[in-house]
Structures are given as C-alpha cells and as structure tokens.
Structure 1
Amino acid sequence: MLKTICYISDSCQEESLDTLKALYSKAKNNNSKYNITGILIYSNSNFLQVLEGDQTSVDATFKRISLDRRHRNIFKVINIDIQQRIFEDYNFGFTIVNNNNKELDSLYEYLEWLRKADNTLANKVVNMVENFIAQKTAKH
C-alpha cells in the first residue's frame, strides 16, 4: 500500500547552501534506495517535505527525520494512504526558495501540471506547497 506524509519543520540553525546541498544529496540517495518520491523545500530556516511510497518505507523515513536533531517543531500536515504517487515524475526535487530561482520556476510548472490533473489530494498538496512558498517569499 502506498502512503504520503507531508510535514513542515523548523531548522535548528540557518543552513548554508553547501549544507543544504549535502542534505539534499543524502536525502535523495536514501529516498532512491527506499523507492520514495516527493519534494523537499527549504526557505527561511523552514522545511516542507512530501514523502510518498510504500507505507513501511515512508513511516521509517519520517521516523528517522523526526529523530534528526537538525529539525524541531515537526508538524505532520498530511498522513494518508494514497492510490498513486503525486511526485513520481518530479524526481525528488529540492528547492531553496529565493527571489531568483530556476528550481522554483520548475516546481511551479510541475504544480500547475498537477493542478490540471484534477486530483483532490494532489490539489490539496499543491495548495499547501504554494501557500508555504508564498509565506516564505512574503518575508523577503
């Protein structure tokens, strides 16, 4: 059975670009090993991540993340069984939100494509991601 978990969290420190790239590389390798797809977004010391895949793998991954001392105030926004993956075609992308960002443009294109699929869960995730980004870019 497939499952998705979406969470937001605070980083315990301001992350440098090099630290974020290393974190993303490790996350991408681990998620690939466990056949987990999704997205990871970082902005203003906050993370939003969507994990999707086999229920056991997603739960185990989230447990590892929740025990990671680099996070605090972890809040699960979505925790449900799914019929199909939303981000399967996105190749576990990582986006650092800033005002001049090709990755952010690519993410918005993908979110728009998802919105056109008219899938209720996908639309809920799309709205949540867009709201997270909007809040973060408004602070700049």
Structure 2
Amino acid sequence: MLKTICYISDSQNFKSEDNLLNLYNKAKTNNLKHNITGILIYKNGNFLQVLEGEQEMVDNTFKRISLDSRHKNIIKVINTTVEQRIFEDYNFGFTTIDNRNELNNLNDYLEWLKDADSKSANKVIAMVENFIGRK
C-alpha cells in the first residue's frame, strides 16, 4: 500500500549553504535507496517535505526525521494512503528545491499535476503552493 506524508518543520543548524547541501544530498540518497519519491523544499528557515512510497518505508523515514535534531516543531499536515505517487515522474522521483530555476520547474510540474484532478494530489499541491508562496 502506498502512503504520502507531507510535513513542515523549522530548521536547526542550517546557517550555511554547505550544511543545507549536505542535508539535501543525504535525503536524496536515503530516499532513493528506500524507493521513496517526493520533494524537499527549504525556504526562510523552514522545510516542507513530501514523502511517498510503501507505507512502512514512509513511516520509518518520517520517524527518523522526527527524531533528527536538525528539525524542530515538526507538523505532519498530510498523512494518507494513496493509489499512486504524485512526484514519481518529477526529476526521477525525488528532488530538492533550492534555487529559482528548480522552483520554476516545480511550478510547471504542479500545473501539469492539476490536470490529473486527483483529490489527494490536489491537497499536496495546495500545501506546496502555499509553502512556496504561489497562487
């Protein structure tokens, strides 16, 4: 069974771009290894991450994240089973958004997703759009 978790959190210890880049690379490697798709966005000291995959893998990944001292005030905003992944086709399954070009690509992808008219996908799209300040 597939599951999606979307959370937001305040970041800790990300005062430098190197720290952020290391986190992005580690997240991408771990998520690909566990067949988790989704996105990780950092903006103004906060993270928004969407995790999609097999239920056990997503739950275990979120548990590790919630115990990670680099995050505080973690709020799980979506926690649901899904029939299909939303971000599977986006940038080979998992990406981190950390510059204007990637943000523009994400905006294009969100527009394309809206055509699918999936209720659960639209909830995730709305969360991402709110986080990046797009409407």
TM-score, normalised via structure 2 length: 0.93
The residue number in structure 1 matching 2:119 is: 120
Q: String of CA shifts for 1:58-99, please: whole Å, max 9, x gaps.
A: 0000000000000000000000111100000113111126xx
Q: 2: CA distance between counterparts of 1:110 and 1:46?
A: 22
For 1:126, the aligned partner's letter is I
The residue number in structure 2 matching 1:103 is: 102
Instruction: Determine helix, strand or coil for the equivalent of 1:13.
Output: coil
Deviation at 1:117, TM superposition (A): 1.0
Q: Number of aligned pairs? A: 132
The residue number in structure 2 matching 1:93 is: 95
Would you say the 8 A contact 1:7–1:75 is kept in 2? Answer: yes
Q: Is the counterpart of residue 6 in structure 1 residue 17 in structure 2?
A: no
Q: 2: CA distance between counterparts of 1:54 and 1:131?
A: 26
Identify which range, 21-30 or 55-64, moves more after superposition: 21-30
For 2:105, the aligned partner's letter is S
Q: 2: CA distance between counterparts of 1:29 and 1:15?
A: 22
Q: Structure 1: where are the runs of 5+ without partners?
A: 136-140
TM-score, normalised via structure 1 length: 0.90
Task: Give runs of ≥4 in structure 1 deviating > 3 Å.
Answer: none
Q: 2: CA distance between counterparts of 1:25 and 1:12?
A: 17
Q: Structure 2: where are the runs of 5+ without partners?
A: none
Deviation at 1:15, TM superposition (A): 3.5
